[in-house]
């Protein structure tokens, strides 16, 4: 009886939450197909006349493709680096039976509690010293540092749940540690890797702070930084801005939909166990 009384409340709460999440997305999409002044007249309704000119203008008369390619490059590259370094660190920490491993693990976890933006001035100095200022490559070390704490946390807990008998059998057959990691561990980590990838995808893709600080050159700007060029001093073409934001949301949505099963499996199987 208790479960039956909880179901209507749970469904109602989830329905309200879904509306709250989908409403801004709906507003952004429908307004991207409206004329500039129609947005002010009816910001939440369906367009009376569907306007595709904003999308055509964004794709043909702007540097959208260049900015989009830069964002794809830095986001995918950073996520791959986070997955590689995070999985190697997790494998080491999960199998290192020493007090030092607990301190190192706690050091990574502390990175989840401290916002990296508080070190923006020092990071700017470091990027400048590395000679990466005003290039797309300046974002890689910052994003990797942002993503490693959550990667180590999720992947370490997941690795600890892998039965020791699996790796022990491989060692008996003569496999080295790297061979065990490459042939066994990395395949079992797929759900957790998907979880880490999606967790890091959104902050990497939507980041405006660090590109704004590090990059001035148009050819190295990311997509959201390029959107700021559409804001005028006296007026703003909101239909074009919303068209760009709609196109920018497509990769995130598609990746989540394609990896949602692995994402949920990784959360339930690894990230909440300890």
Q: Report the share of the chain in percent with pLDDT over 90.
A: 20
Note the pLDDT of residue 143.
Answer: 94
- Residue 1 is predicted with a pLDDT of 42
Domains recognised in the chain with CATH numbers: 1-51 (no CATH), 61-271 (1.10.3720.10)
Please list the ranges in the chain whose pLDDT falls under 50: 1-4, 233, 270-274
In the prediction, which pLDDT does 267 show? 58
| 168 vs 236: CA distance, rounded Å | 63
pTM of the entire predicted model: 0.81
Cβ 225 vs Cβ 215: under 8 Å: yes
At residue 100, the 3 state secondary structure works out as helix
Q: What is the pLDDT of residue 273?
A: 44
Write the CB contacts of 252 (distance below 8 Å, at least 6 apart in sequence): 201, 202, 205
């Amino acid at each position: 009886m208790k479960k039956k009384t909880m179901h209507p409340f749970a469904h109602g709460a989830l329905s309200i939450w879904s509306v709250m999440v989908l409403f801004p997305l709906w507003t952004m999409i429908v307004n991207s197909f409206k004329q500039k002044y129609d947005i002010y007249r009816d910001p939440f309704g369906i367009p009376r006349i569907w306007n595709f000119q904003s999308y055509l203008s964004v794709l043909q008369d702007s540097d959208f493709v260049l900015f989009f390619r830069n964002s794809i490059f830095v986001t995918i590259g950073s996520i791959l680096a986070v997955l590689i370094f995070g999985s190697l660190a997790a494998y080491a920490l999960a199998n290192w039976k020493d007090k030092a491993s607990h301190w190192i693990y706690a050091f990574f976890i502390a990175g989840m509690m401290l916002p990296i933006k508080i070190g923006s001035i020092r990071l700017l100095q470091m990027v400048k010293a590395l000679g990466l200022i005003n290039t797309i490559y300046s974002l890689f070390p910052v994003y990797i540092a942002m993503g490693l704490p959550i990667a180590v946390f999720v992947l370490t807990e997941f690795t600890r749940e892998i039965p020791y008998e699996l790796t022990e059998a491989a060692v008996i057959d003569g496999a080295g540690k790297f061979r065990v990691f490459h042939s066994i561990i990395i395949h079992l980590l797929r759900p957790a890797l998907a979880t880490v990838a999606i967790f890091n995808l959104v902050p990497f893709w939507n980041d405006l702070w660090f590109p704004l600080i590090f990059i001035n050159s148009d050819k190295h700007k990311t997509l959201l930084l390029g959107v700021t060029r559409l804001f005028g001093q006296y007026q703003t073409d909101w239909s074009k801005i919303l068209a760009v934001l709609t196109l920018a949301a497509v990769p995130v949505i598609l990746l989540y939909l394609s990896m949602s099963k692995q994402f949920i499996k990784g959360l339930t199987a690894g990230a909440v166990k300890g």
